[in-house]
């Protein structure tokens, strides 16, 4: 930016009478005045340039912040429908970058097909036609019998059951006695005597909480199957199921806290239209979800306990570092992505630090692969493992000029003790991918219906999804598991393998 600085004309110098031919003596007072005036003009110009420079620096910082905000927004989940720029023109369909489907040749991958069923329920004989479909001739000779298989759902029809309860009273104490069949889910009679069964409730909970179908969609599907129910009825049935699963949820919290390694993460949520957070904690074949208005340490400590001593696989979110007694593993995928973003915007020498950090992290991952494949001796592994720590120290000793690189090294310094835990402790992952995978069903729900309307609904959400996810981790049928819990007369703990539970039972039974 060019600036025109107006300068006042300097006072003219008046020469004193000549004392010698060809020489003039300048008046000292005039010279001082001239120089003082010039200095004042220079100072004014410097002040203006400093003010302009400060304004431009502030503008650069604002643009940098805006650029980072846009970059973060681009990484977030896209809206369910793309929007135009507001113009009336219809968007043109995009041309695919490459042909859809698998790559031809050797890169095609495994050629899979639907296997033949082992059990056949019905055989249908399909005879040759009496006439040839081509020439209408009647001489058709049988060559062979081929087989085709079809897996079909049976006709959907709800099974209606009436329980004839023999109600009486005790002659000795006069108390009313009402029996209960093992298949019943409630003792309600009268206006509440007509209910939907446990398998239907379990299916509704699965569709709503895991597959993201709204209560209205669930009710519509049930009505198509002949089971009449309203969206409100679906919501009430799911809420009752959530209350039945409360003991299992509390047991899962204890199980996660007893797990040797836990992966934790969080994502945005809504409760009653207000901002909240959906947390997940993935332990040893168990998962716990928690919906809370905070993203702070107290939420994680409420699940794991402040004195958690296992390995915590997490990202760089600062509250996780407050678990002082835990062993930490920082997510290397987040650090690698950060390096990639810095390299995309780096200029000249500004790429050296991100390149060096990326090389360091990739070397650690390659060392793990060589160790797990059995091609690396223990002595060489120990040497190269120590070299990684030395490289971290060399990186932290550097003093980059680019602010983004300084922030990267500052973060690396905070995480230096949590970078290579996966190389030292067996069974620890280098990333928090388990927690990110656990959040995916919640993200689907968030896209479908945004969150929960009430705190009670949020409680039901976290309880049911925790049980469903844990059942899937242990390869258990979630529908059968939920149906059995709903049939129990009193709330009970599900038949799941929960860390620490077997030890607690053995301790309780010990004399």
Is residue 170's pLDDT more than 70?
A: yes
pLDDT of residue 438: 93
Query: What pLDDT, in 10s, does the model give residues 387-426?
Result: 999 999 999 999 988 899 999 999 999 999 999 999 999 9
- Span of 31-40, 109-118, 477-486, 491-500 with lowest mean pLDDT: 109-118
pLDDT of residue 92: 55
CB 299 within 8 A of CB 475: no
Partners of 261 in the beta sheet? Answer: 311
Q: Which of 78-82, 461-465, 504-508 has the highest mean pLDDT?
A: 461-465
Q: For the chain, how far is it from start to end, CA to CA, in angstroms?
A: 87
311-314, strands of its sheet edge to edge: 287-292, 274-282, 261-271, 311-314, 327-330
- Pick the residue with more confidence: 324 or 449? 324
CA dist list (Å): 290 to 248, 294, 441:
14, 11, 14
Q: What is the pTM of this model?
A: 0.74
CB 406 within 8 A of CB 235: no
Is residue 505's pLDDT more than 50?
A: no
Query: What pLDDT, in 10s, does the model give residues 349-370?
Result: 889 999 999 999 999 999 999 9
**CA dihedral in degrees (495, 500, 501, 503; nearest 10)?**
130
Is residue 82's pLDDT more than 70?
A: no
Of 290, 227, 268, 274, the residue nearest 462 (C-alpha): 290
Is residue 193's pLDDT more than 80?
A: yes
Instruction: Using pLDDT thresholds of 50, 70 and 90, give the confidence band for residue 86.
Output: very low
CA dist list (Å): 255 to 85, 431, 437:
50, 21, 19
């Amino acid at each position: 930016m060019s600036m025109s600085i107006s300068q006042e004309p300097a006072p003219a110098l008046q020469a004193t009478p000549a004392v010698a031919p060809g020489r003039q003596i300048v008046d000292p007072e005039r010279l001082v005045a001239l120089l003082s005036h010039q200095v004042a003009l220079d100072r004014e110009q410097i002040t203006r340039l400093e003010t302009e420079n400060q304004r431009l620096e502030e503008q650069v910082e604002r643009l940098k912040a805006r650029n980072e905000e846009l970059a973060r927004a681009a990484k977030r989940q896209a809206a369910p429908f793309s929007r135009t720029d507001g113009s009336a023109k219809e968007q043109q369909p995009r041309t695919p970058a490459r042909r859809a489907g698998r790559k031809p040749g050797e890169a095609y991958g495994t050629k899979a097909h639907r296997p033949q069923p082992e059990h056949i329920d019905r055989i249908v004989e399909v005879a040759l036609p009496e006439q040839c479909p081509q020439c209408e001739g009647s001489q058709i000779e049988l060559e062979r019998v081929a087989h085709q298989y079809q897996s079909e759902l049976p006709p959907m029809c709800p099974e209606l059951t009436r329980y004839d309860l023999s109600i009486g009273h005790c002659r000795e104490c006069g108390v009313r006695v009402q029996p209960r069949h093992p298949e019943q889910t409630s003792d309600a009679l009268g206006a509440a005597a007509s209910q939907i069964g446990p398998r239907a409730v379990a299916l509704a909970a699965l569709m709503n909480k895991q597959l993201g179908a709204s209560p209205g969609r669930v009710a519509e599907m049930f009505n198509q199957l002949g089971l009449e129910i309203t969206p409100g009825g679906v919501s009430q049935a799911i809420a009752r199921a959530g209350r039945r699963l409360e003991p299992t949820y509390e047991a899962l919290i204890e199980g996660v806290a007893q797990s040797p390694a836990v992966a934790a993460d969080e994502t945005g949520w809504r409760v009653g239209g207000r901002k909240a957070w959906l947390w997940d904690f993935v332990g040893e074949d168990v998962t716990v979800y928690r919906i809370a208005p905070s993203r702070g340490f107290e939420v994680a400590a409420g699940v794991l306990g402040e004195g958690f001593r296992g390995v915590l696989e997490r990202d760089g979110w600062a509250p996780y570092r407050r678990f002082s007694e835990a062993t930490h593993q920082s997510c290397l995928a987040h650090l690698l992505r950060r390096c990639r973003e810095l390299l995309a915007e780096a200029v000249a020498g500004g790429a050296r630090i991100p390149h060096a950090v990326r090389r360091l992290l990739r070397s650690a991952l390659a060392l793990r692969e060589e160790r797990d494949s059995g091609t690396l001796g223990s002595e060489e592994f120990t040497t190269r493992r120590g070299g990684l720590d030395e490289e971290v120290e060399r990186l932290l000793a550097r003093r980059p000029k680019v602010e983004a690189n300084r922030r990267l090294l500052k973060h690396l310094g905070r995480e230096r003790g949590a970078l290579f835990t996966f190389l030292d402790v067996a069974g620890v992952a280098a990333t928090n991918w388990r927690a990110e995978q656990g959040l995916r069903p919640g993200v689907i729900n968030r896209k479908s219906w945004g969150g929960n309307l009430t705190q009670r609904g949020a409680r039901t959400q976290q309880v049911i999804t925790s049980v469903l996810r844990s059942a899937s981790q242990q390869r258990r049928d979630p529908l059968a598991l939920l149906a059995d819990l709903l049939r129990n007369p009193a709330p009970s703990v599900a038949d799941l393998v929960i860390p620490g539970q077997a030890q607690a039972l053995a301790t309780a039974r010990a004399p």
